[in-house]
Amino acid sequence: MRNCRFGRPLLSLLGACACVLLSGAAHAQGGASDSATAQALFEEGRKLLEAGNSAAACPKFEESQRLDPGVGTQFNLADCYEKDGRTASAWSLFLEVAAATKKAGQTDREAVARKRAEALRPKLSRLVIQVPPKSNVEGLEVQRDGVTVGKAQWGLAVPTDPGVHVIRVSAPAKKAWETRIEVEKGPNVQTLSIPVLTDAPASETVGEGDAEDTSASFAGEAEPGTPTQRYLAYGSFGVAAIGIGLGTVFGLKAISKNDDSNAEGLCDGNRCVAEGAALRDDARSAGNISTIGFALGGAGLVAGVLLLVLEPKPSAPQADSVAWSAYAAPGGGAIGLGGAF
């Protein structure tokens, strides 16, 4: 029993190490690529904006900002929103740029952003969503374009981009109500009053116990008589093999890229032409991933050995189980190990 209690923290540590190392490897490989993609999107957005095509330019700036956030991109996006007629979005974004540049001590850029925001203020369209007391039933939820409008916003003239907006209202045991309202170009204030929701038929209400369980898992039962900890040790050795393989592949890639940078006079010591510098950067990235891979392999190897050494010797047969899970996530992935013994 003492060995079993020691094994559980060890498994948690192994799972955490695997998650961190794999995420780090993916981040090291994807960071440079994201920056390059963001720059390409930014340049394309500038070309489209200069050509007067703000509708196509704004999504380029949005994606560039998502991949590699920066105040410069944010300012250009605000400028694009203004040219596209989205005055409320432009106004709020200019204010964000002003706040960020003020914090960075960039007073000139702050002044420009704040001036642009103040110029837009008198042109704003505003929408008031009123919820009369008789309409305010328990659990009432108001959404504008799929985003919840909190109670603090009810009755407030909120700056809103001109155009069509979808308002949806729902509440427990009530029929949902939805409408479309076209906000006109400012300056103006429009008001929408939420009606009283009607009761939903009993057949349309779903009880708490009726919700379908959509969770899924992948688990395998250990064979009778085979200790679960041994299966987990084998899994750790598998993680070690993956890590060592990853380290070897990217290590060889790092060496190859570095050799290429020294060939044909691309680099002279630490001085390189553009092509040589790019090869050196690739070599460093591959070297970082190689290091992470070997670290993962070492962690898996040590954990596997410890699991075998500390394997419990049960006095009576017991039902063991081992569960594996793997998933992908933005910026990386994870491998999870779990079991009961």
Q: Are residues 178 and 117 in the same domain?
A: no
326 and 258 in a single domain? The answer is yes
Question: How many structural domains are present in the chain?
Answer: 3
Residue where a domain terminates, one of 87, 122, 157:
122
Model confidence, pTM: 0.52
**Residue 326 binned pLDDT confidence (cut-offs 50, 70, 90):** very low
- Predicted confidence (pLDDT) at residue 178 exceeds the cutoff of 90: yes
Look at residue 243 and tell me if it is in a domain: yes
**Count of other CB atoms within 10 angstroms of residue 17:** 19
Whether 50 shows a pLDDT value over 80: the answer reads: yes
Lowest mean pLDDT among 16-20, 40-44, 53-57, 143-147: 16-20
The verdict on 129 and 181 lying in the same domain is yes
Query: What pLDDT, in 10s, does the model give residues 293-318?
Result: 788 878 878 887 887 777 766 554 44
The residues near 123 (Cβ < 8 Å, ≥ 6 apart) are: 87, 186, 187
Q: What does the pLDDT read at residue 38? A: 92
What mean pLDDT value characterizes the chain? 79
Q: How many CB atoms lie within 10 A of CB 280?
A: 19
Residue 334 lies in a domain: yes
User: Comparing 145-154, 211-220, 247-256, 266-275, which segment has the lowest mean pLDDT?
Assistant: 211-220
210 domain-assigned: no
Q: Residue 94 is part of which domain span? A: 34-122
pLDDT bracket for residue 208 (50, 70, 90): very low
User: What is residue 1's predicted lDDT score, i.e. its pLDDT?
Assistant: 40
Q: In the β-sheet with 332-340, what is the strand arrangement from edge to edge?
A: 219-221, 321-329, 332-340
Domain annotation covers residue 205: no
Verify that 263 and 276 share a domain, yes or no. Answer: yes
Is 76 part of any domain?
A: yes
217 within domain boundaries:
no
